[in-house]
Amino acid sequence: MPLALWALAIGAFAIGTTEFVVAGVLPEVADGFGVSLSAAGHMATVYAMGVFIGAPLMTVLGARVERKRMLAALMALFVIGNTITAAAPAYSLLLTGRVVASFTHGAFFGIGAVVAAGLVAPHRRAGAIAFMFTGLTLANVVGVPVGTLLGQHMGWRATFAAVAVLGAIGLAGVLALVPRGPKPEQASIRPELAALRNPQVLLAMAMTVLGFGGLFVSITYVAPMMTDIAGFGTSAVTWLLVLLGLGMVVGNALGGRLTDTAPVATLYVSLGALSLTLLAFTWGAHSMVASAVLLFLIGASAFATVAPLQIRVMNKAAAAPTLASALNIGFFNLGNAIGAWLGGLAISLGWGLTSPNWIGALLPAGALLLAVVATSLDRRGTGATAPGHRAEPAPAAQG
């Protein structure tokens, strides 16, 4: 893989860490500002909604900017947002910093995916995108546990200061390693918007919402499930989340490799596996061994869907993939927010702590049904690309 992909992966690692580390430092933030845990949880909520809003907004604003410069600008804004968070004297300013940082998330991954795909041969595009997303998955395995320990021993401000430093390293990597591309030929965002009217693009984005929505219906409430149902001690939750993260790393790498050779089959199998493992978790959560194994499998099957979903959106919006790619990242986070809400609703209705698992299983099953519909339309010749064709996005710079 080209060295430029390492720069993108480092940026992804920093972004993933700031998104997920909130769960680990929530008590320290609540104590530091004298707010309730539920109020401190707004750090996660405003971030998710900021990603959903910021992904298309920042992509549109950067439509006339060369992609390397836009990626560098996004990482600079990310550093500013996390610095504001780390130094915030009031909780309202902390939330402001979270929103600033979140606005970079979707556009960075969306534009970065297009750049990554243009850095390699056509038959390795999905693998290149998956390599960049490895940074996001490793954030759950390394960034979040380390950030949590740092917050517990040196204060939560140190956690976000460290994330800002990671962002600065990612910025330096983008400036040094990502090749410059041509100036965007399109003076208007209309071609990008036109691509969003393609029903195949909309179907792929709906799959994204349902697939990741199903994941977050369940794992948002995995801590009380593991302590109250499986019987683990509180201290074991961190390492169970690391196990989930390891599954994400394996699934992301496997999904990227398989998508380059069999994109439709990979999409079918990963969505089907996610639905089945979530359903099994309804009963497996009562066993320590079964729950640990299933957490790994849930993480693997969920992130095996990332490459086929992202590459499908880019292919179906082949003439103008940047906005569609970024918007799809926003839909991943919309799925997160919807999933967390559905899981909380099920628990509040008295359906039990394991109910988010079988509810979550229904969503990727729905995504699988949409995938069957979409590929059926492919065979009829409906969509931006012909069946089996892998349209290439506008290339990143060559040299």
pLDDT greater than 80 at residue 221: yes
Residues 256-259: contacts with CB under 8 Å, at least 24 apart: 256/126, 256/127, 256/128, 256/129, 256/130, 256/131, 256/133, 256/306, 256/307, 257/126, 257/127, 257/130, 258/304, 259/126, 259/127, 259/130, 259/307, 259/308, 259/311
pLDDT band at 132 (very low <50, low <70, confident <90, very high): very high
pLDDT band at 153 (very low <50, low <70, confident <90, very high): confident
Mean pLDDT, residues 159-168: 96
CATH class of the domain comprising 1-184: mainly alpha
Is 310 in contact with 211 (CB distance < 8 Å)?
A: no
State the pLDDT at residue 193.
74
pLDDT greater than 50 at residue 218: yes
State the pLDDT at residue 393.
40
Mean pLDDT, residues 283-288: 96
At 63, which amino acid appears? A
Could you give the C-alpha distances from 365 to 105, 199, 303, in angstroms and in order?
27, 20, 15
Delimit the domains of the chain by residue range: 1-184, 187-387+390-394
Mean pLDDT, residues 105-128: 88
State the pLDDT at residue 177.
93
pLDDT greater than 80 at residue 39: no
In 3D space, the residue among 250, 248, 223, 252 whose CA is nearest the CA of residue 238 turns out to be: 223
Could you give the C-alpha distances from 271 to 251, 265, 304, in angstroms and in order?
12, 10, 8
Instruction: With 0.85 as the threshold, say if the pTM is over it.
Output: no
Is 325 in contact with 313 (CB distance < 8 Å)?
A: yes
Alpha-carbon span 318 to 304, nearest angstrom: 22
State the pLDDT at residue 44.
79
Residues in the chain: 399
Mean pLDDT, residues 135-162: 89
Q: Report the first-to-last Cα separation within the chain, whole angstroms.
A: 15
Residue for token digits 């994400």?
248
Least confident of 77-86, 202-211, 212-221: 212-221
The CA radius of gyration of the chain, in Å to the nearest whole number, is: 20
State the pLDDT at residue 185.
61
pLDDT greater than 90 at residue 79: yes
pLDDT greater than 70 at residue 105: yes
State the pLDDT at residue 391.
41
Alpha-carbon span 279 to 369, nearest angstrom: 17
Is 52 in contact with 208 (CB distance < 8 Å)?
A: no
Task: Give the rounded percent of residues in the chain with a pLDDT score beyond 90.
Answer: 45
In CATH terms, 187-387+390-394 corresponds, of 3.40.50.10420, 1.20.1250.20, 1.20.970.10, 3.40.640.10, to 1.20.1250.20
Is 307 in contact with 259 (CB distance < 8 Å)?
A: yes
Give tens-digit pLDDT for 353-389: 899 999 999 999 999 999 999 999 888 765 444 333 4
pLDDT band at 144 (very low <50, low <70, confident <90, very high): confident
State the pLDDT at residue 211.
94
Is 112 in contact with 71 (CB distance < 8 Å)?
A: yes
Alpha-carbon span 260 to 264, nearest angstrom: 10
pLDDT greater than 90 at residue 267: yes
